[in-house]
Structure 1
Amino acid sequence: MSTQRGEMQTAYRILVASSREKLANDDSDLWDSEKISSDSSLNIVYAGKPLQTAQQYYWKVKTWDKEGNESAWSNTATWSMGLLKPADWYGQWIGNDEPMPGDTLYSQFPRIPARYVRKEFIATHQIKRATVYLCGLGLSEFYVNGKKVGNAVLSPALSELPKRAWYTTFDITSQVKQGKNAFGVILGNGRIAALRMKEIPIYYDTTKLTHYGLPKMRARIDIEYNDGSKSVVNSDTSWEMTNKGPIIANNEFDGEEYDANRELNGWNQPGYNDAAWQQAKVVKPAAQILSAQMMPPIKVIEDIKPIGIFERGPGVYIVDMGQNMVGWARLKVHGKKGQRITMRFAERLKPDSSLYLDPIRTAKVTDVYTLKGKGAEDWEPRFTYHGFRYVEIKGYPGEPTAEAITGRVVHDDLERVGTFTTSNQMINKIFTNAYWGMKGNYRSIPTDCPQRDERQGWLGDRATGSRGESYVFNNAPLYAKWLRDIEDTQAGTG
């Protein structure tokens, strides 16, 4: 990058190749833009040979300055294509469309345990490249040989079911090995099963939130070997599944319940005994269209520690995070097997220092952890989130300290592009409050609130706020995705 004033780009040239080796030799077997006289540096449209499903491409660029001086080639960069046609999804939607033991689907407050799904696979040669394409609904985490892939949470993004669902893509080359491998998926409820129902079977209730079925998944895992051969692992009935794991309930409004005594140690590693599991079933497709999720994922962006903890009553503690935030609490604890810790969340306290829950309406906003009693235990939920400043803790062994509680701040991983400060501390505080309010409502759609039984993407709210937000965050990826959601909801009459 030049430091000279008035410098500018006058031309560029892009090379695209099918391999790193070809590109290094300037063998642009896919596209050579040749020298283009232009100062454009963004949104250059590829104009080479047709791009193919699931292929990786290598490219580099050089530029010319205002004096006509030619730069060196850039470092090699890559991009990968997703699955471009429905026929590229070789696998099936799998899960179980019928309620499993432990599912409570006949209540206003559905309780659905997480599904654990696994598949073992033998890689016959050394691995060159491995890629997974996954749509796990309502929410999902993918594991290879015991380790979670990526750092996204509450994935995939929300979509307009049953028209469209988003799939995510991960490079798992470093995690797949020659020999035995195990792939695992945890499926949370998210919003696939309606979060609120009447006292009738949810299959017949259309008066509340829409029901799209029970947790399910579709996957394609591509394995490329150094000798040029390939394998593909698809979602089908050879996968095994169970709902008898530690996540015994998960609901975006109500929270998550986790019993550490039900942990399935080694379930996502080769050699695990899954004889008690059931064969996954082919289920009804969750969506007509599967599209690649192009916006940044939701992540844990930062951690904050409490500024105070006090005992409100015998065994009841109030934790003050010092900031109204969106996410959840991470818990560290020592205790006896079977001890049950309950955490509830609120943005404000009543005058008597109890949680002010009236605005939360029917949302239970409660996370429950049952100890296994084996030394230090460290837990946080996977498939829920809360809007809160205060945490009420009951059942904690002894007195919780600030080291025992961590606030995990969660939102879309959008680039921050602007800051604001003045000499007036009141104005600075107003901006800070607005900043936390913006990012707390970035949940793959711009929501109206993160704490009660609503959390919807109302159009009027964002019509007035989106432009102002763009001075703080690069929210273009979020709003581009959301406009697609809006288009998907549009009726045929317009």
Structure 2
Amino acid sequence: MPEWSAVLVSPDSDFDGAPLLRTEVPLEQGHGEVVRAVLRATAHGVFEAYLNGHPVDDTVLSPGWSSYEWRLRFVERDVLPFVAGLGEGEPLVLGLALGNGWWRGRLGWAGGRAYYGDELGALAQLDLTFADGHTQVVGTDETWTAGPSAVTANDLYDGETIDARRLDDSWLRPGHTGAGWTGVHRGELDLATLEPYLAPPVRRVLEVPAQRVWTSPAGRTLVDFGQNLVGWVRVRVQGPAGSTVTLRHAEVLEHDELGTRPLRTALATDHFVLSGGEDVFEPTFTFHGFRYAEVEGWPGEPDADALTAVVVSSDLRPTGDFACSDELVTQLHRNAVWGTRGNFLDVPTDCPQRDERLGWTGDIAAFTPSAAYLFDVDDFLRDWLRDLAAEQRAADGMVAFVIPDVLKYVIKDDPAASVFGPPDSTAVWSDAAVWVPWALWQAYGDRRVLADQLDSMTAHVRRVETLLSPSGLWEKSFQFGDWLDPTAPPENAALAKADPSVVATACVFRSATLVAETAALLGHGDEAHFRDLAERTRAAFVEHYVGDDGRIKSDAVTVYALAIAFGLLDEGQQQRAGERLVELVREGGHHIQTGFAGTPFVTDALTLTGHLDDAYALLLQRECPSWLYPVTMGATTVWERWDSMLPDGTINPGQMTSFNHYALGAVVDWLHRTVAGLAPLEPGYARVLVAPQPGGGLTWARTSLETARGRVAVAWTRTDDGGLDLDVVLPEGVSGVVRLPGEADREIGPGEHHLNAALAAGVG
């Protein structure tokens, strides 16, 4: 770890929650040119750093949101280009712009703010190395000054106000003596909590032009960007000095007007006060989840060219793609990509628009296998898992509902905000401690994630072991269960068909099994304990939940899907469970009957038990509830509810309704592995399984993945005679197995392969 001589400083005046900090020092003389310049910086709040009038990088919302009590990340940047060429004794100006961010802004649905601290502050240190080896250190200390910015209000939920009349970049230039500037004072910071970023930073990753500007029936000016996204709108405008342009954001229209009710108390509104000249506004201390914006106060009529949506996300490298002959299914996959991009904004959030935006553990537990195919999320989720482990150590092994766990403060301030009762370990949600690192190991083949998280993984399962009843079942504490089963009433998403204790006990078996596998891989001595726990849990599950007729308690699609996919049943029980599962799926008209727990596994369970046609029928269902119903309604991201919007264009009456949640999009993992046919035979795709299982009337599908070993691709097409043409690309050093229905396995090596198969009668 680097040494710090700088100290965290806070402005003596708050300056509307968006202060500027600066220092000006001469470059030391007599040592030649500067040959190395490194800036390290972090903040209580969010910051943007400037050196000699230039932003030091293109990141935004740094240092993001971590479990600040134990981890505060800092950025480290090579800034030599900004000091190269300065002569000896010339002034050097280092400046920082601060905003509230997650540190002091609103968090959670109870209306509270400043859970981590009520004062903004910054820590920055510029280390300069000269040609003769001499070093000069410029760091935050009590000699810095603070002053006002053009930002007069900022909050992640509510939006940002910028007054262009106050814009003045003289604070970034030598000799600044701005009126109203004050001093700073030393703040509190434990330097031991500082860590470098492991995850990629947040950046502007795309720009989306306005597609349409029109007047609504109520006379409002509306803008459609054509895509539900996360970020803000960059505005170019000229009008009378002091006049205000206001933008309100929302994901959908309801009856041809902006649909803001799902935002709950989040205002999601930006205000831009004009200077009288040509102004360009970017509200970089907030973000919104939106497709539409309502514009008020524009001088004249806004032109589409004046409004650009700036997409903001952790800077993740896209890795996997998919397309097939059914355009709705291809669009479903696109929706999952956009949902991941929008919600992977420093923390894997549930949703990006309302008064929540929290790192719900259940969502990412369900979705990690899909996310790890769509993007390179290895470092992103390993960083988040460090927060999970830190929160867990402070909570006696409990994995909280959200990471970072701000809810512990929300509930302390307002006990009524704990709508789920006293927090404790919960199935699927707390299982993220095990399921996420295991999915990363499978996707990337890097054992470091297992080694780093082993203590967390074992602590979770050991805590859950203490919560089991004498009969070996997890049946006493609160459970989310099969959250958002489509039959649950809008006001109570936990009232699912699947018995929550059945779901929870099945999850104990899976997590204990995966921890045992991890212990075996790492040579850890606890393997036998967790294998024994898994076997005892399996036996208890069968004894108490599986009837002599093969029926599983609560007789719901999800309980059969989990029992089959997790391997809880013997061969005979598996067959009967598969038969009952497909009966229920058919009785339901191939409409979705699962929520967060069952949805990632139901198509696999049908496939494993020989009901591929029914898995396809479930996938291709277009009526609500189904994966494709939102697509038919124009969705461009995955919805939180199967019916977030009702067929008549009315928003679901529930108070928890998002149009950008990735969890129910976990079926895209099955699209990759089963429809297109690409899966790892060994972790990290050191060996691959090429096993497409055509069906549903699809005539072609293709997928590709940029692995650590290179690009792997599979494409298949149905031939006129009912056969299959298959193209496979494997990179150097990678081998694979081709497995087609009715055919013997074929071993293949690196290179391009063109194969043909005569599919068995009735396949597809």
1:256 alignment partner AA: E
Report sequence identity in percent: 34
1:327 to 204, 208, 231: 231
1:195 alignment partner AA: R
2:267 to 338, 349, 364: 364
Mapping of residues 279-358 of structure 1, within 5 Å: 279-285=183-189, 289-312=193-216, 316-351=220-255, 353-358=256-261
User: Does the 8 Å contact 1:194/1:211 carry over to 2?
Assistant: no
Q: Which residue of 1 aligns with 2:286?
A: 384
2:281 alignment partner AA: W
- Change beyond 3 A, Cα 1:476–1:140: same
1:226 to 131, 138, 148: 131
Q: Give SS of 2:272's match.
A: strand
1:266 to 153, 156, 170: 170
Residue 154, structure 1, aligned to residue 57, structure 2 = no
User: Does the 8 Å contact 1:315/1:396 carry over to 2?
Assistant: no
2:364 to 462, 468, 475: 462
Which one has a larger percent helix, Structure 1 or Structure 2? 2
| Structure 1 moving runs of 4+ over 3 Å | 196-199, 313-316
Q: Which residue of 1 aligns with 2:99?
A: 188
1:94 to 9, 22, 42: 9
Once the two structures are superposed, residues 260-317 of structure 1 have per-residue CA deviations (whole angstroms, 9 ceiling, x without a partner) of 1112331111111146311111012277510001221111111111111102378731
User: Does the 8 Å contact 1:144/1:269 carry over to 2?
Assistant: no
Shift, 1:113, TM fit: 2.6
- Change beyond 3 A, Cα 1:299–1:333: same
Q: Distance in 2 between the 1:314 and 1:397 partners?
A: 19
Q: Give SS of 2:194's match.
A: strand
Q: Which residue of 1 aligns with 2:351?
A: 449
Q: Which residue of 2 aligns with 1:144?
A: 51
Q: Distance in 2 between the 1:377 and 1:175 partners?
A: 26
- Change beyond 3 A, Cα 1:339–1:157: same
Q: Give SS of 1:295's match.
A: coil
User: Does the 8 Å contact 1:239/1:279 carry over to 2?
Assistant: yes
Q: Give SS of 1:174's match.
A: helix
- Change beyond 3 A, Cα 1:388–1:358: same
1:406 to 308, 327, 332: 308
Once the two structures are superposed, residues 90-119 of structure 1 have per-residue CA deviations (whole angstroms, 9 ceiling, x without a partner) of 1111004x7x366xxxxxxxxx43010000
Deviates more, 1:275-284 or 1:311-320: 311-320
Q: Which residue of 1 aligns with 2:119?
A: 214
- Change beyond 3 A, Cα 1:92–1:122: same
User: Does the 8 Å contact 2:108/2:356 carry over to 1?
Assistant: no
Give the count of matched residue pairs: 389
User: Does the 8 Å contact 1:240/1:274 carry over to 2?
Assistant: no
Q: Distance in 2 between the 1:198 and 1:139 partners?
A: 21
2:144 to 210, 233, 239: 239
User: Does the 8 Å contact 1:162/1:288 carry over to 2?
Assistant: no
Q: CA RMSD for the aligned pairs? A: 2.0
User: Does the 8 Å contact 1:197/1:209 carry over to 2?
Assistant: no
Q: Give SS of 2:215's match.
A: strand
Q: Give SS of 2:172's match.
A: coil
Shift, 1:158, TM fit: 1.1
Q: Distance in 1 between the 2:304 and 2:190 partners?
A: 43
Which one has a larger percent strand, Structure 1 or Structure 2? 1
Q: Distance in 1 between the 2:186 and 2:319 partners?
A: 45
2:128 alignment partner AA: I
Q: Which residue of 1 aligns with 2:678?
A: none
Q: Give SS of 2:324's match.
A: coil
> Could you tell me the TM-score, scaled by structure 1's length?
0.75
Q: Give SS of 1:121's match.
A: strand
Q: Distance in 2 between the 1:465 and 1:317 partners?
A: 37
Q: Distance in 1 between the 2:352 and 2:246 partners?
A: 20
- Flag the structure with larger Rg: 2
1:233 alignment partner AA: V
Once the two structures are superposed, residues 374-400 of structure 1 have per-residue CA deviations (whole angstroms, 9 ceiling, x without a partner) of 2x2111111100000000000011111
Shift, 1:128, TM fit: 0.6
Residue 133, structure 1, aligned to residue 40, structure 2 = yes
Residue 249, structure 1, aligned to residue 153, structure 2 = yes
User: Does the 8 Å contact 1:163/1:287 carry over to 2?
Assistant: no
1:234 alignment partner AA: G
- Change beyond 3 A, Cα 1:240–1:313: farther
Q: Distance in 1 between the 2:157 and 2:51 partners?
A: 30
Q: What runs of 5+ residues in structure 2 fail to find an aligned partner?
A: 398-764
Q: Distance in 2 between the 1:321 and 1:209 partners?
A: 33
Higher relative contact order (CA 8 A, sep 6+): 1
2:236 alignment partner AA: K
Q: Distance in 1 between the 2:158 and 2:91 partners?
A: 39
Shift, 1:213, TM fit: 2.6
User: Does the 8 Å contact 2:40/2:74 carry over to 1?
Assistant: yes
Q: Distance in 2 between the 1:453 and 1:381 partners?
A: 18
Q: Give SS of 2:329's match.
A: helix
Once the two structures are superposed, residues 451-484 of structure 1 have per-residue CA deviations (whole angstroms, 9 ceiling, x without a partner) of 0010000111100101111111010011100000
Shift, 1:137, TM fit: 2.5
Q: What runs of 5+ residues in structure 1 fail to find an aligned partner?
A: 1-81, 103-111, 200-204
User: Does the 8 Å contact 2:108/2:355 carry over to 1?
Assistant: no
User: Does the 8 Å contact 2:204/2:313 carry over to 1?
Assistant: yes
- Change beyond 3 A, Cα 1:295–1:196: closer
Deviates more, 1:208-217 or 1:272-281: 208-217
Q: Give SS of 1:463's match.
A: helix
Once the two structures are superposed, residues 345-369 of structure 1 have per-residue CA deviations (whole angstroms, 9 ceiling, x without a partner) of 0001110x22111110110000000
